[in-house]
Structure 1
Amino acid sequence: MNTRIIGTVGMAAAALLLTSCAVQTAPDGSASGSAAALASVPGFDLSDGTIHVGQMTALSGPLAPSSNEQVAGQQAYWDYVNATGGIAGKYPVKVVTADNQYNPQLAVQEYQRIKGDVVMLSGVLGDASTEALIPLLQQNEAVALPSTQSSRFTQNANLGMTFTSYQSNVWNALSYMFEKGQITRSSVVCSMIQADQSGEARQTALEYAAKQLGFTLGPKTEFAPTDTAFTAQVQTLKNANCAAVVFGGATNNVPNLVAAATQLDYAPIWEAEFFAIAQSFKDTDIAGYLKDHFVITGLGGNLDDTSIEGMALLNTQLGKTPTMQNVYGFMQAMTAATILEKAVSLGDLSGTGIMAAMTALDKVSYMGLNGDMTYGPVDERMQPDTSAIFSYDPAAPGSLKDLATMYVAPGGRGPGF
């Protein structure tokens, strides 16, 4: 298929997404194609016309490589928005970056530094940083988009979500594995998760899946994000004959996990999310183990699949095949742009105006990269329920080979997922 044609289709679809948000319903019920009058607010000077958004992420430290890919993904979408005229076709967007180093204390400091310069935060990396900022966001009537899948943030008026929850990703992956016979009712399925709320979210999904699918729930093992020794956890899992393990770690944990599993001759199916996989793994001796024993959830599909509209647009904007972290940032900017379009149409780019825009929105769509994020009244908001399922393949872009796209467990969304 012709990549140039698909890229053009993707850009046309994105243009439609942007421009369609400008057509609103006036209070008297009549359609209006123009935005309400705007006033200058912190982060937006009407005389200049530029909307400033803040992205807070780990620009330095061990998570910097993947974080900077998210930054590049966001910028790729903002570049597209600006090339098509900006928000509502007239207001360009500029990103102000802040470095929290994945540290909640630094997140608070950086927020205080930039809060007067931006209309919203288009990304905040980390559950802990998001938690630390919530009181300040409430105090300042401000909005942030967490770079996380944690469902506990979904129904918070100051936060705007984008991604499928941790719970839905685990539930979808286990359902897919059950469909394919990789686990059965006779299997023991266990967990190796971070000792935090993201780990508990995964454990909740595992326990739900055990009840729905009928397999045996095995032991829960835990670790801290900075741990480097996993022999004890792996030994516990092996002793329990766990056929599959829900894993909640990131790239920095995986080499030591594989080392411990290899040393103990333990080879279950490990279910993980895409941020556990680094492109650099393909040139190491753990690549073979990952290929044979990992099932991975993520976004979109194959990273070079330009039949997916959003992937075609991202490939075109970057001028190369993206990483999954690029997709993550790209989608988050799509959420922010859609919210800003609505805020402009309502005539208010203040924090309260942006919160009102999220309430007025029905949903945000992602051009085939994921299911819709439902907005509207706070207590009715829901994260997407779809997951892309991958195997590890060092020869594939990003080392991810698509097994299923937009997959939803046959049993549907779990409660609170």
Structure 2
Amino acid sequence: MWSKSIVDFFRSKFTVLGLIILSLGALFYFAKYTDSTFTPTSFSSKSSSQTKFYPNRFHLQGDHLELFGSYSVGNNTVIATDFAIIVEDIQSFVSILKNRSDTINHDTEKIVSKSVANISIYEKSTPDRYINRKVDEQYFIKHRNVPEVSCRKIFDGSETELKLAEEITKKTPKSTLTESDYINMTKDCEKFRQERGYILSPLTHLEENFPIAFSLLLFKDVGQAERLLRAVYRPQNIYCVHVDEKSHDDVRKAVQGITSCFDNIFLTPRSFDVQWGTMTVLEPEILCMNELWGKSKKWKYFINLTGQEFPLKTNYELVQILQAYDGANDLEGTIKRANKDRWENAGPPPHNITATKGSVHVIVNRDFVDYVIHNEIAQDFLNWTRKVDVPDETFFTSLNHNPHLGIRGSYKGVHHQTRSEEKQKLIITLNVSEKHR
């Protein structure tokens, strides 16, 4: 019943390693689940070093169970491995591990062990992953609607699996909610939060201690914007939502319903008629900065979003990235590729500022926001940008790319090297160089 790969492995030159895994397989063969521990009916080990196995994922394959995890022998480094085992009562064994499968696996520090002879089977306690495990595990879906697609293969870049997922997506009717649906659903906030799957726990101490401020600008399609909001939502973060002045009444009412169900999501006190290429793109962002600044003193970074976006990172990963930035701001900026004709009618910028072309999308630290809304130089420059074309692509990036202004986290490199390609590398590699400090 052993898989061929395991048999071949045992026949390899790594005999000692094979015997260790074989011993573990024997242990699990006699294992029964009792009171949240692994209690074998019989087992003996002659190994002189203590072996530890850390199961974190499993896969049911016919008449045997494949465990995925890691093990260590004595003080040796923990080595990742996977192997097949035979279990008398597979379903009981599945019940042991199912709560730890198909969920995010963050690093852990505390480990609760059950020693058996000279081998300890470790059941992971996850203080870094969960603040309150019993409560927080409810936020992770354990049963997928499309089990025939392997998420692991998709993440590994399997072309075959990606094509299969695309085919199923095309055949699957899209589930859409109308503005009226949201208006009705948010009349019962507790039910709305639960049914829509909002994560109502910080989940980890790392995230709890690193709150983020978001702005969200939307004009239509509340359903898409709400999916974005739900994906980035955590109770320790804070969210400012701006609804375009020309949006339909039902859009505004739907968003009002959603924000009314959360203490940390709020609508702007006024709305702008947003028109591309004008100050009306920039003004809602600055309005949200003011509101976020006044409502919370805890958030570390500000990120602006539009209703047509969706995150590629979890909040946990995002916090790790922002911590790696160590106060640096992330804004696209260039002079070499700038459309300088946009600034011709405005005259020279004040305070010896070199105008820079970038994007309205920013990731900036709290001190940058403080400078934008409180500093007189920033206000003078904001008034100058009112005379330029597409001011939203000039204001934030110029402040960040003029280090003589003394804004924390400003870019201090060479301007012709600040193209978006180089900036993107910072995000991918989490490499914050000295020139950003």
TM-score band by shorter chain is: under 0.3
Please give the TM-score of this superposition, normalised by the length of structure 1. Answer: 0.26
Q: Work out which structure has the larger RCO, using CA pairs closer than 8 Å and 6 or more positions apart in sequence.
A: 1
Please give the TM-score of this superposition, normalised by the length of structure 2. Answer: 0.25
